Every structure is written in structure tokens, then in C-alpha cells.
Copies of this chain bind each other. A is one copy, B any other.
Amino acid sequence: MQKHEISDCLDPFIQVCKNFDLKITPQRCAIYKKLMRAKNHPTADEMFNIVKKEFPNISYDTVNRTLLTFAEIGLVDIIPTKGGPRRFDPDMDEHHHFHCLDCGKIVDFSSDEFDNLGIPDHIQDDFTVFTKRVVLNGLCKKCRKKRGLKDRIIVT
């Protein structure tokens, strides 16, 4: 039904599915393609609305379950958040996060210094570490400005 069929760059995805005995369904391919293109950190619902445009019959449920499956096989990360709907991070390369305490926005950034951090010995004794991430909390430009006007509590 599409112009350039299944030929975007799905080969690695197909390989991963095979490795994990997952069937290559058109829904999964559609979700994967849109996910890889996502620049922010979409929720299941946001992904559902994006994929639905090209796949009107897909259910929210399939999108949600597929994203969880992708997380299980290491195609996406689930971002730890302080609440609200789950957010998925399609960037699996090492990177770090800034969270805005007011609007909740999550911003990716890179830092060689952070990437090069070692894992403390006393941690390695008791735990096997797969990933490491520095998480910064604060205020984005917009919210910093807003706070100046609002009489809101400053959380230190």
C-alpha cells in the first residue's frame, strides 16, 4: 500500500526479531519505523496517534504492548520518570538526561566526561551494571522565566 514498501532500513530490526523468535508483523514494523524517527521521548499514546495515521486499524493496545516488547529486547529504553505516562527513549547510545521539574520535559545531552565515568568498585562487587546515566534536574529556560512571575515554591 505504501510507496517504498518494507525497505526503509528494517533489516536490522528484522534480524533482532528473528533472534528473539518474534514474528515480523506489519504493526511491529510500522511502530518500529515511527519510533526510530521520534525525536522526543514519546508515550505509548503519542506513538499510537502517530502510527494510526498510516495504520488506521491499529489498536492502542498493540502499540503499548509492542513498545514494551521492544524494551524487553533492547530496542528502546523506558525512561524513569516521577509520574505520568511511561516514556520511551529510542536512542540506545549512551547519553544523559535533563529533567525540567516544572514542565516535565526531558532533554537528551552528550558529555564525554559523563561517558567516561567509571563504576565504583564497591558497586561492581554486588551488582552487574549494564547502563549508566547522569540525570540532571532543574528548570528549562521557559519555566525559569515563568517562575519569576509566579509565586511558586522554589524546590532546591
Contacts and interface: CB of A to CB of B under 8 A. Distances in A.
A65 B48 CA distance: 32
A155 interface: yes
Interface stretch (A26-34, A55-63, A120-128): A120-128
A98 interface: yes
B144 A138 contact: no
Interface in A78-94: 78-83, 86
Interface string A112-145: 0110011110110011111111111111110010
A113 to B, nearest CB: 7
A62 to B, nearest CB: 19
B134 A117 contact: yes
Given A72-B153, A156-B131, A123 B139 contact: no
Nearest to A100: B127
Contact of A138 (B114, B130, B135): B130
B117 A136 contact: no
12 contacts: A73-B155, A74-B156, A80-B80, A80-B135, A98-B127, A109-B122, A113-B118, A129-B137, A129-B138, A130-B155, A131-B156, A133-B135
